[in-house]
Amino acid sequence: MPPRFRVLDSKKYLQVVILPKLLYHFLSMCYFGNLQVVAAKQLQLSPVLMAAMNSTSGVMSKMISPQNVTTGVSTSTLVGKEGLIVARTFKHSLFLAVLLGLLVMAQQYLIPWIIPH
């Protein structure tokens, strides 16, 4: 039986998969990072902390991103089981989001001296 996907060499994989993702991630962080800083200033919160939280949560959300799950699954023996992967990682993603929220709240209100100005 022929393989269901074509294996890319490392240079082609970098051009086709990695670079577009990096460009998209960079552009979205530029736009939404500035939005978070403006909102933080209006709410009298730390803009440094909110920008850092935006970047961290963007990276954490990649766990359940359909594009990343599909890319990862296509290189393994789990082709066709993307829903199972997302279902299993969703709980972990939710737990990490709550943990990040608690950490940010602690840094903002309990230990604000830890945030650089």
pLDDT by 10s per residue, the chain, length 117: 455 555 556 666 666 666 676 676 677 767 777 888 888 899 999 999 988 888 888 788 878 888 778 877 877 788 888 888 888 888 998 999 999 999 999 999 999 998 887
From CA 79, how far away is CA 81, in angstroms rounded? 6
Rounded to 10 deg, the angle between the 82-105 and 66-74 helix axes is 130
Q: What pLDDT is recorded for position 1?
A: 47
Between the CA of residue 65 and those of 13, 82, 86, 90, 102, what are the distances in Å? 19, 11, 8, 10, 23
Taking the C-alpha atoms of residue 18 and residue 22, their distance in angstroms, rounded to an integer, is 6
- Res 18: pLDDT: 66
What pLDDT shows up at residue 7?
Answer: 55
